[in-house]
Amino acid sequence: MTSSLTTRIIRIGNSQGIRIPKALLQQIGFTDMVTLEAQTDQLVVRPIAAARHGWDEQFQAMAAAGDDQLLDDDYTLTDWDTTEWTW
């Protein structure tokens, strides 16, 4: 769905900004943080995706497929591991 809105650039302290109506923010699913990207003749506003979003489901799928095992079977301790490292 495409929506178009005309608004004014307003003064906010020493900066400038625009007001985005709450209904428009809800329509596109924006919450509290966004990224701004300057492109030729336009400003693109995108929501910030949560860090590690979807990782839980991916790890569960890996475990179900048996793909969550260590790849390095030859794990050997070094002298440093056995004599110098203390827990």
Contact 29, 20 (CB under 8 A): no
Contact 69, 61 (CB under 8 A): no
Which distant-in-sequence residues (6+ apart) come within 8 Å of 25 by Cβ? none
Domain ranges of the chain: 1-67
* pTM score: 0.51
pLDDT tens-digit profile of 20-29? 999 888 888 8
Helices (H), the chain: 22-28, 55-64, 79
Q: Which CATH class is domain 1-67?
A: mainly beta
Answer whether residue 8 shows pLDDT above 90. Answer: yes
**pLDDT interval class at 64 (50, 70, 90):** very high
